[in-house]
Amino acid sequence: MPTRTEIICDIDQFKCNDGTCIPGKLACDGVPHCKNSSDSEDESNCLVIVVVVVVVVVVVVVVAVVVVVVVEVVVIVKVIPVLVQN
Ligand SMILES: [Ca+2]
């Protein structure tokens, strides 16, 4: 039984469907780099990556804003009355 050699790309590389490894920075740069590909897979699914990054950034910002608002409300409700009484 013949054995298939699995091509393993480095962690900073993108693996094309034909097994070719290209530098990761060439993926999603708007230029097809996978040679034997009709659908230039190094340029597909890029929108999904962008959307995921945007969603993560939005979630982080929203959480940060909520934390700041909660801290400010706690200061206003708990700390200021104590300072005013003293
Ligand atoms: Ca590319």
Centroid of ligand 1 to alpha carbon of 85 (angstroms): 65
Centroid of ligand 1 to alpha carbon of 29 (angstroms): 5
Instruction: Please count the other Cβ atoms lying within 10 Å of the Cβ belonging to residue 23.
Output: 13
The C-alpha atoms of residue 40 and residue 64 are separated, in whole angstroms, by 38
Centroid of ligand 1 to alpha carbon of 68 (angstroms): 40
pTM above 0.85, yes or no: no
3-class SS of residue 65: helix
Centroid of ligand 1 to alpha carbon of 40 (angstroms): 8
Query: Using an 8 Å Cβ cutoff, are 34 and 18 in contact?
Result: yes
Instruction: Report pLDDT digits (tens) over 45-76.
Output: 788 878 899 999 999 999 999 999 999 999 99
The C-alpha atoms of residue 16 and residue 54 are separated, in whole angstroms, by 25
3-class SS of residue 15: strand
